[in-house]
Structure 1
Amino acid sequence: MMNIITVSQISKKYGNLLNSTKALNGVSFNIEKGDFVGIMGPSGSGKTTLLNIISSAMKPDVGEIIIDGKELTRMKENEVANFRKNHLGFIFQDFNLLESLTVEENIILPLTFSKFKKVEITKRLQYINKILGLTPLNKRRIDELSGGQKQLVACARAIINKPEVLFADEPTGSLDSKSATQLLNYLEKINTQEQTTILMATHDAFTASYCKRIIFIKDGKIFAKINTNGDRKEFFEKIINMQRTIGGGDFFNA
């Protein structure tokens, strides 16, 4: 399997010379196409900074990010913006949906920006609705939805342009356990059926147990990596044990 993401010697500092904090310090790893990778670590470990840098929302001080053969760290801002629009998808904890639009309008928004033909937009919307079960909600306004339904709409919007890589930052953080499980099942489904590569930052061991492997970050460096053998319960226990070792993590969904 080929690598779709290469992270090479990434470092990032915040602050100035007199008062600086090293958020990341020489982080390197590869992610294969179709992988489902979690990034975990205590608060302040650097995992969100790492996700932001890989997803092109932030630039590193040092190092290279290559996605699908393109070196993002050497691209101009307009080139990065076009690459992000055409190749990457994003799910955030706070949904970032437009309240003035319907569910359907929110989902197809990325395609309208890219000037897709109406026939193709309809085809993709029907397909996404089938995967995520959103057809009954299509004509509703966003303020009529539950938190779980809003996150599913955000997921649909993120994947309708068929991204090579989907980034998720604490996607279950504001959901109840039932909604979180539903969303995770759908992420697992698009990872398996669509071979969508997913990179997800999370504190929660239950959420992380849906991944195929976990990269643990501590003090800006890779602390450990663990892989699943297909047994989610056993993988969950391995994650919990590593969280106890590394420090930090949320256990309320266990």
Structure 2
Amino acid sequence: MNQAPRILSIAGSDSSGGAGIQADIKTITLLGGYAMTAITAITAQNTRGVTDVVALSPQMVAAQIDACISDIGVDAVKIGMLGSAEIAEVVADRLAPLNGVPIIFDPVMVSTAGSVLADAATVAAFDRLMAIACLTTPNYDELAALGGDAALAAKGYGYIAKGGDAPGDVVEDRLVLPGQPPVVWTAPRIDTRHTHGTGCTLSSAIATFLGQGAPLIEAIEDARDFVRAALLAAPGFGEGFGPMGHHAVR
């Protein structure tokens, strides 16, 4: 029997479907994985921004994680929006014992439309998650908020500094792993406003490819290709930062 890799997404729900849990499920499924979820928060949002957020209790987040892992099992984990420092701590508690399971941490702080999704206490709690993750995926602003390259490198964290939000016509993504020279990818910037969910999609794609057994660099390269294809296939929905076209990628 050809078993799909079991990928657990721990993230918030995006009511408009472009990011968060919804983008993760689309990505994992399209790439051949079996998607499971532990929802951390419910958001009311669309392409123009987030209008309301309700975080779930840490106990409920932990219960969802336990339910998935204890019965179905897990081959890789993606962590996205967390909702509170207490949720970040309980997620770290549950994932720390998963020896050998690749964990990808997308340190979501602000939505594409500029809405704040993590307060200072939550960001401070990210440290435990970065320590157990095999890869953290900050964008330009998130990397700065985490202390920059020097801070992450000094702690020995593996991370990819995403360049999609940095200025310039060329996007540069830079992989930094402890004791290894950086790996850099560059590509022409795709001129589009339909970028909602790019970070969610990249991190869940990397997790899926790792769950399938791919080496890390190969997983990142294939995930980058998937994101770029989804950007080019955007359906044009919404008046703001629209969703990508996951459904149209072949």
TM-score by length of 1: 0.30
Q: Which has the higher strand share?
A: 1
Which one has the largest radius of gyration?
A: 1
Which of structures 1 and 2 has the larger relative contact order (alpha carbons within 8 angstroms, sep 6+)? 1
